Amino acid sequence: MPRKKKRIRNKSLTKRSQQKTKSKNSKFIIVLMFISVSMYSFYDITTIGDDYRYFLFVFTVPITLGMIILGLIRLNRIKETLSEENSIFVKIALAGFLILKGFLISFASFGVVAHISWVKLNKNTIKQSPKEYINCQVYRLTSGTSKMAPSVHFYFLDSEESIHINSKTHRKYFETDPQLLTLQLQLREGIWNKYVVDNWKIIKNPTIKENL
């Protein structure tokens, strides 16, 4: 009987310890995501231009590499967690949750570092680039949400692009036929066929270029 009680106590202590660890990990992830999103927004720049290299080298590769490294570091713990479940459906769901968790942590660390490095490289590049002015045909205005600003959608180099605009501009033009609107952009060329937007203005059917 005393041995059984000790085993029960040990199991209870182990479960409590695991619950505390999970709670700490959850809080850590929340704090990490908050800091990362704040840094991502602070260092972000408005760019347009279609090129696969950003998605590949700044988003896909760093996040995938981070998930692999995190997976190797936590491999024993992952195996232990999955082995505790007998149901194949629960294991699949748990594996999906762990992958999602690894993606979020990897994005908040490796992904954000890669993005900030790309932004700084772009900022250094555009210092040597002359300013360019271009008129783009608007095809849609979209209203924002409580967490996202309104957007203007337009054509640039035969591709569909969009940038965020302020609420005042959206209210001024949202009832206007987009075919009657032109977006004037002040740009500087960065890396990988990306253009950094320095300034913008929406106007109606310009006959001459207005100063930004």
Residues 30 and 117 in one domain: yes
**Do the bridges between strand 151-156 and strand 132-142 make them parallel or antiparallel, or are there none, so unpaired?**
antiparallel
Model confidence over 76-88: pLDDT tens digits?
A: 888 888 887 778 8
pLDDT at 13: 47
Strand partners, 128: none
Residues 83 and 179 in one domain: no
pLDDT at 63: 95
- Say which residue the tokens 């036929």 belong to: 177
Q: Does 115 fall in a domain?
A: yes
Instruction: Name the residue among 43, 200, 38 with its Cα closest to residue 121.
Output: 43
DSSP string, 10-25: HHHHHHHHHHHHHHHH
Residues 33 and 138 in one domain: no
pLDDT at 140: 94
Model confidence over 180-205: pLDDT tens digits?
A: 999 999 999 999 999 999 999 999 87
* Domain C-terminal end among 96, 126, 156: 126
Q: Does 212 fall in a domain?
A: no
- Residue 47's φ and ψ, nearest 5 degrees, are -130, 155
Domain that holds residue 195: 132-204
- The torsion defined by the Cα of 72, 73, 77 and 81, in degrees rounded to 10, comes to -50
**How many CB atoms neighbour CB 156 within 10 A?**
19
Residues 89 and 165 in one domain: no
* Domain C-terminal end among 66, 95, 126: 126
Helix H or strand E encompassing 101? helix 88-106
pLDDT tens series, the chain, 212 aa: 555 555 555 555 455 555 555 566 667 667 767 777 777 777 789 999 988 999 999 999 999 999 999 999 988 888 888 887 778 888 889 899 999 989 989 998 899 899 999 999 999 999 999 999 999 999 999 987 877 889 999 999 889 999 999 999 999 999 999 999 999 999 999 999 999 999 999 998 755 454 55
Q: How many domains does the chain have?
A: 2
Q: Does 210 fall in a domain?
A: no
Q: At 186, which CATH number?
A: 2.40.50
Residues 23 and 57 in one domain: yes
- Residue 183's φ and ψ, nearest 5 degrees, are -100, 120
Residues 28 and 78 in one domain: yes
Residues 155 and 64 in one domain: no
* Domain C-terminal end among 74, 109, 126: 126
Distance (Å, rounded) from C-alpha 118 to C-alpha 112? 10
Residues 122 and 138 in one domain: no
pLDDT at 211: 52
**How many CB atoms neighbour CB 60 within 10 A?**
14
Residues 191 and 115 in one domain: no
- Residue 36's φ and ψ, nearest 5 degrees, are -65, -45
